[in-house]
Amino acid sequence: MNLYETAWWYLGNIFEYGEQMLPCMLMGVVGFLLLRPFRHKRLQGKGLVSSVPRELALLIFVMFCAGLISLTLFPANLWSYVTDWLIHHQRWAMVWSDRTLSSFYPSWEETMAGAAYLPDILQPFQEIRRATRSMSPWLMFMLLGNIGMFVPLGFFPALLWRGWSWWKAVLLGFFCSCTIEFIQFFIGRSTDIDDVILNTTGALIGFVLYALCRVTLPRLTAKFHCTPKGEVSIWTN
């Protein structure tokens, strides 16, 4: 593939994964709206106000986290079937006619058979080297994707909550990734220590991006923190 075709291929894959995230993202919106009055009551009790930009950023972060859960904590392609119904209603009967929920999950015997590959799974940098040496579009997509999908986990918490530091971003990325990889081992998904390395790197990159924004645009980033009621601005609801 030439550069143009490769770029479109990457965009097509990103769009496809975005579609799979859609159902859980919508559930994230519902959860956000249901909890919003309780959050605001809690903030009022502390004498704080959440601005409109902060609420929008928080909503985006919640939607992203819900979408990330759909891509990582469920069997592969499960949510693509749900998305097919949301976008192409006529395909619902055809899609589910030969599939049941249990068919997406491996049997216990299949899961235990995967334990034989644990020495390879726990050997760091194998998959990273394989991707960078082969420069395979798919392997590079997975490598970059594992970094990119954790960038928001480093960026948004620092943007939304005071006192966030780089080591907190690294710990959040590391523990979230470890949890995901552990669960994926039991649901028939690919599990590898390199994913933890790449995910943690992505969270750190996210914090670095926030730090750059804070240095170059300090007034803008300050609008995404809660403010005391006496400091209400035009951005505050």
Taking phi over 0 as left and psi of -120 to 50 as alpha, with beta for the rest, 163 belongs to left
Q: Whole-prediction pTM value?
A: 0.86
Q: What total number of domains does the chain contain?
A: 1
- Tell me phi and psi for residue 162, to 5 degrees: -70, 155
d(CA 235, CA 220): 11
Residue 34 lies in a domain: yes
Q: What is the DSSP string of 158-189?
A: HHHSTT--HHHHHHHHHHHHHHHHHHHHTTT-
Residue 236 lies in a domain: no
Residue 21 lies in a domain: yes
Q: Which domain holds residue 141?
A: 3-231
* Secondary structure string (H, E, C) spanning 18-31: HHHHHHHHHHHHHH
Residue 90 lies in a domain: yes
d(CA 97, CA 110): 24
Residue 192 lies in a domain: yes
- Tell me phi and psi for residue 51, to 5 degrees: -75, 165
Tens of pLDDT along the chain (237 residues) come to 677 788 888 899 898 888 888 889 999 999 999 999 999 999 999 899 999 999 999 999 999 999 999 999 988 777 777 666 656 554 544 444 455 666 677 888 888 888 888 888 999 999 999 999 998 988 999 999 999 999 999 999 999 998 899 999 999 999 999 999 999 999 888 899 999 999 999 999 999 999 999 999 999 999 998 888 766 554 444
Residue 87 lies in a domain: yes
Residue 187 lies in a domain: yes
Residue 65 lies in a domain: yes
